Structure 1
Amino acid sequence: MRRPYWFLLLLIPVVELYGFLWVSERIGAGKTILLIIFTSIIGLAMLQFEGRKVVADAKLQMNKGQMPGSKMLDGLCVFLGGSMLVLPGFITDIIGFSLIFPLTRPIYRKLLFKWVEKKMKNGSITFRRF
């Protein structure tokens, strides 16, 4: 069951290294490093903006007496996307931007919702009231 995780832990750095080499052959090593730094800065700024927006929307829903379920999943997507943007690499940047970008985030939100729903049905995730 845990084998795919080890495989991903080994595969992702290899793919990222190949991406670095491929891009640096085309535009040069210096420009590749600057591109990685630039995408990280843009990604972190986008993370900050979208994160504040998600928190404000969640507060608004709570003030109306509604559960901010979808906003919580949006927050998780923004957090995961921001974490991926901090990692150096082009593949992680593409996935991170798609997690943060508001037009593609509903795809991930739907997948997360189905995953949480499945985990709740089989008893892996339980909620307790205090």
Structure 2
Amino acid sequence: MFKALLLIFIIIPIIEIALLIQVSDIIGGWSTVALVIITALIGAKLVKQQGTDALKNVQSQMAQGQMPAQDLFSGLCVIIAGVLLVTPGIMTDVIGFILLTPAIRNKMAAGLIKHAHMRTSAGTQGFNFSSGGFQQNTFNSHENQGNTYENEAPKETPKVLEGEFKHKD
């Protein structure tokens, strides 16, 4: 955990400052500031557009009863890209724009889903994570029309005992 915090709060800002200095030596200080502002504005527009698309895709897949794993991952990448693009810097902007590229995001999502499917299907019970949606292995399919489970005992009519209670001190 300490290494991750060291990387995030010390090493990345040092790299960003060094890159900004080098870029400002090449194109000038005000041009560098303009570049950082323009990439933030373009990134914000792209994040809004792609985030809305990802949300619509997630909602439509959930309405169809499918697990929208790839679109959820895509939405997460868009959020991370938005944070990176708003952060001033060259390296964070490059990583942010890479995460906004749908082809790269889809490839990363497919790899993550494949990895998650391999890890969860190795003998677990319940729902398995897969790119095709949920796989049922614990619940009955559509044999029973109620909300019953395989391991659930049949429901009986409850027995009610009537009477009075008096508290004696």
TM-score grouping bracket, smaller chain normalisation:
0.7 to 0.9
Q: Paired residue for 2:81?
A: 81
**C-alpha distance in 1, partners of 2:119/2:2?**
20
Pairwise CA distance, 1:106: 2.2
Counterpart residue number, 2:2: 3
Structure 1 segments, 4+ long, off by >2 Å, are: 106-121
State the Cα distance separating 1:59 from its structure 2 match: 1.1
How big is the shift at 1:90? 0.6
- Larger helix percent: 1
Structure 2: which 5+ runs fail to align?
A: 122-169
Give the distance between the partners of 2:18 and 2:46, measured in 1 at CA. 26
Structure 1 gaps, min length 5: 122-130
Identity, % of aligned pairs? 33
Question: Are 1:47 and 2:47 matched, yes or no?
Answer: yes
* Preserved contact between residue 77 and residue 109 of structure 1 (Cα < 8 Å): no
Find the aligned partners of 1:24 and 1:49 in 2 and give their Cα distance. 31
Deviation at 1:112, TM superposition (A): 4.9
After superposition, residues 16-27 of structure 1 pair within 5 angstroms as 16-27=16-27
State the aligned residue count.
Answer: 121
TM-score, structure 2 as length reference: 0.64
Instruction: Answer yes or no: is 1:29 the counterpart of 2:20.
Output: no
State the match for 1:128 in structure 2.
Answer: none
CA RMSD of aligned residues (A): 2.3
Is residue 22 of structure 2 the alignment partner of residue 12 of structure 1?
no
